[in-house]
Amino acid sequence: MVGGGQLARMTHEAGIPLGIRFKLLSASPQDSAALVAGDVVVGDHRDLDTLRAFAKGCDVITFDHEHVPTEHLRVLEAEGIPVRPGPAALVHAQDKGVMRARLTRLGVPCPRHRIVEDPADVRRFAETEAGGFPVVLKTVRGGYDGKGVWIVASAADADRVTEPFLAGVPVLAEEKVDFVRELAANVVRSPHGQAVAYPVVESVQAGGVCDTVIAPAPGLPAETAVAAQEMALTVARELEVTGHLAVELFETADGRVLVNELAMRPHNSGHWTQDGAVTSQFANHVRAVLDLPLGDPRPRAPWTVMANVLGGDFPDMYPAFLHCMARDPQLKIHMYGKDVKPGRKVGHVTTYGDDLADVRERARHAADYLRGIIDE
Ligand code: ADP
């Protein structure tokens, strides 16, 4: 796996009972997965020779992030190394412009959008194509957790928001969708073409970062949920995705579901599956990239809630950790081994059961307590 973050750490963990030998290319020996994996190469994933040397002896290469240059992956593939997902699929998770164009051709509902050249073009897009301001600007590559996304509130604002045009990559403008909530439809597909769909979840964001995930999305009509799952399976099939595909969605007040973006790797909206589904997203990602039969994606309980633990102002989480374990023995805690820095994702908790309000409160309490924003 290329990339040493927490996704690699948890993918490694999921491969152990399957007897999978795991090799890691990590940017630093201190990265979350590098701290626990036995076979770690420290190197730069943007360097082709490093990737080539790393790939020697691997049966398959997969990723914990989207940042390996597409052209390097094409070279590896041309040299006979199985890359999953392959570059032809992965480019849709790397480049939002390519993704929007392809999904639109497939008839998948997306916000109105186009590539814009400069602030004057943003005004034209807003006034003639997007139904007015506000609009959203995104650099097509390099964004994550809300970085690389700007809201342009008005025509006057269009002249002020020049930063995206300085990044040296194309800028995508989108209508600002007036969504009621964000959802995710997560599926896993193998090279054989076998695919499974997890229940559609609600993903609650705070400050551009995923905060809480509720599985399944409360109150989502069954036909909307099934349509979203089918759409995600169609995207996986048409783009020939191998591994886990997260389709991030906006749900609108009139019941429509639009695609925000795609991720082709285990995803934060799927962490709940570690404890809440028969087979986790990590185990199914491993199975898929190795072309093994996939595991059952169904939930184990009526409700599962995942809450991210963000770093707070207290670098020492240990006392809070003890408290949370003692307070709620049913709580599942997943820490990533990362140094605590304010706002950084350092772990997550999950809870599951029959009563959504109770499950949600317990997950929320533990995440807030670990962060240090409550103390009782
Ligand atoms: P990133 O790659 O940083 O995750 P996203 O494209 O997912 O960027 O955007 C981050 C957040 O910005 C989304 O979760 C959503 O809350 C908001 N956002 C993005 N695009 C739109 C849009 N077209 N309309 C309304 N909100 C948007």
**How many Å apart are CA 343 and CA 195, to the nearest integer?**
35
| Per-residue confidence band for 165, with pLDDT thresholds at 50, 70 and 90 | very high
**Tell me, what's the pLDDT at 53?**
98
**Tell me, what's the pLDDT at 313?**
81
> Model-level pTM greater than 0.85?
yes
| Per-residue confidence band for 355, with pLDDT thresholds at 50, 70 and 90 | very high
**Tell me, what's the pLDDT at 41?**
98
**Tell me, what's the pLDDT at 314?**
82
**How many Å apart are CA 144 and CA 343, to the nearest integer?**
14
What mean pLDDT do residues 172-194 have?
Answer: 97
Residue in the structure block whose two tokens are 């605590």: 340
**Tell me, what's the pLDDT at 207?**
85
**HSE of 83 in the Cβ direction (CA atoms, 13 Å)?**
27
Taking the centre of ligand 1 as the mean of its atom positions, its distance from the CA of residue 53, in whole angstroms, is 36
What mean pLDDT do residues 181-194 have?
Answer: 97
Residue type, 153: A
Is the pLDDT at 345 greater than 90? The verdict is yes
- The predicted-structure confidence for 135-164, as pLDDT tens digits, reads as follows 999 999 987 767 789 999 999 999 999 999
Instruction: Enter the tokens of residue 149.
Output: 């996304």
What mean pLDDT do residues 83-109 have?
Answer: 98
Residue type, 86: G
Does domain 112-175 fall into CATH 3.60.10.10?
no
Is the pLDDT at 168 greater than 90? The verdict is no
**How many Å apart are CA 236 and CA 221, to the nearest integer?**
23
CB of 159 within 6 A of ligand 1: the answer is no
**Tell me, what's the pLDDT at 375?**
87
Instruction: Please report the atom of ligand 1 found closest to the CA of residue 174.
Output: 23
- The predicted-structure confidence for 309-331, as pLDDT tens digits, reads as follows 999 888 889 999 999 999 999 99
CB of 247 within 6 A of ligand 1: the answer is no
Is the pLDDT at 293 greater than 80? The verdict is yes
- The predicted-structure confidence for 8-50, as pLDDT tens digits, reads as follows 999 999 999 999 999 999 999 999 999 999 999 999 999 999 9
Probe ligand 1: pick from 110, 205, 260, max atoms within 8 Å of CB? 260
CA distances from 77 to 68, 71, 84 (A): 13, 10, 10
CB of 111 within 6 A of ligand 1: the answer is yes
| 6-83 CATH | 3.40.50.20
Probe ligand 1: pick from 116, 135, 137, 149, max atoms within 8 Å of CB? 149
| Per-residue confidence band for 89, with pLDDT thresholds at 50, 70 and 90 | very high
CB of 176 within 6 A of ligand 1: the answer is yes
pLDDT exceeding 90 applies to what percent of the chain?
93
The answer to whether residues 119 and 127 touch, using CB atoms and an 8 Å cutoff, is no
**Tell me, what's the pLDDT at 145?**
67
| 179-371 CATH | 3.30.470.20
Is the pLDDT at 125 greater than 80? The verdict is yes
Taking the centre of ligand 1 as the mean of its atom positions, its distance from the CA of residue 149, in whole angstroms, is 7
**Domain layout of the chain by residue ranges:** 6-83, 112-175, 179-371
Taking the centre of ligand 1 as the mean of its atom positions, its distance from the CA of residue 147, in whole angstroms, is 9
Q: Please provide residue 363's backbone torsions phi and psi, each rounded to the nearest 5 degrees.
A: -65, -45
**Tell me, what's the pLDDT at 58?**
96
- The predicted-structure confidence for 223-232, as pLDDT tens digits, reads as follows 999 999 999 9
The answer to whether residues 180 and 253 touch, using CB atoms and an 8 Å cutoff, is yes
What does DSSP assign to residue 129? T
